[in-house]
Amino acid sequence: AKRVRIHHLRELKQRGEAWPMLTAYDMYTAELFDEAGIPVLLVGDSAANNVYGYDTSLPITVDEMIPLVRSVTRSVKRALVVADLPFGSYQLSPEQALATAVRMMKEGRAHAVKLEGGAAFAPHVKAITTAGVPVMGHIGFTPQSEHNLGGYRVQGRGEAADVLLEDALALQAAGAFSVVMEMVPAEAAKRVTHELEIPTVGIGAGPDCDAQVLVWQDMMGLRRGKAPRFVKRYADLAGVMKGAVEQFASEVREREFPAPEHVFH
Ligand code: KIV
Ligand code: NA
């Protein structure tokens, strides 16, 4: 199968075809999602919450991200793999942003990087794309800024919708190949999607974005507890896994496992 390239995503937008994107942080998920035809996989800094057990995305480091990125890029044949730049690894300067992007490409073998922020980060995006690395933007609710945004709240309501559009246009002008919009009103996301030539990827941004992304542990029901409104659970992996573990434990205790067919003589 032919590799997904950034120009393919723009062609999908031109044809009005919506595309799915999922996070992936390891080999089996990457293989499976790639085989299922997911064109873009994101090694998100949400690995902080979903792999490393932190309570926010802020603590994860580039050194913690790179092995995950490498395992995902090794495991796909077709998908475009985007690696998130974690908090603190790009905000200091466009030079720092480029240096971190280079590490994600060389050490992680990523195909593109993603960073959070609007017009203020256009110079950072420009520095990276000028060096030949595709960049995905991320605006609206940006988890790395949760303390400054006052928690998980919808962004881009009212007059802030104009700022959202300006930010998106600035990222496009800086060379971004796509922009994620997280937790923004559907009407605002629709307007941005219409105004941009590059594809928008929504998460909690309504049905009119060019693409939709979810964190895989959320959409598969592996992460438990109350999920945000924008999450749809397509499976109950936590239930499936808990059931299997309990059965294994019980069969060991009852000496039902291993059975004759599992035994060498
Ligand atoms: O880290 C992540 O999973 C993300 C997506 C939710 C867009 O940035
Ligand atoms: Na992220």
Domain boundaries, the chain: 6-234, 236-265
Report the percent of the chain where pLDDT is more than 70: 100
Q: What is the pLDDT of residue 74?
A: 98
Q: Tell me how far apart the alpha carbons of residues 40 and 48 are, in angstroms, rounded to a whole number.
A: 20
Question: Residue 46 annotated as binding?
Answer: yes
pLDDT digits (tens, 9 = 90+) for 244-265: 999 999 999 999 999 999 999 9
> Is the preceding peptide bond at 258 cis, omega within 30 degrees of 0?
yes
pTM value is: 0.98
Q: What is the pLDDT of residue 60?
A: 98
Spacing, Cα 46 to ligand 1 middle (Å): 6
Ligand nearest the Cα atom of residue 215: 1
Is a pLDDT exceeding 80 seen at residue 63?
yes
Ligand 1 binding pocket includes 44 (Cβ within 6 Å):
yes
Which numbered atom of ligand 1 lies nearest the CA of 214? 6
Q: Tell me how far apart the alpha carbons of residues 100 and 71 are, in angstroms, rounded to a whole number.
A: 18
Ligand 1 binding pocket includes 213 (Cβ within 6 Å):
yes
Active site residues: 182
C-beta of residue 178 within 8 angstroms of C-beta of residue 112:
no
Exposure b/e, 57-76, CB count within 10 A at least 16 = b = bbebebebbbebbbbbbebb
Residue nearest to ligand 1 atom 4, measured at CA:
44
Spacing, Cα 227 to ligand 1 middle (Å): 15
Q: What is the pLDDT of residue 1?
A: 73
How many angstroms separate the first and last alpha carbons of the chain?
A: 45
ipTM of this model? 0.99
Question: CATH homologous superfamily for 6-234?
Answer: Phosphoenolpyruvate-binding domains (3.20.20.60)
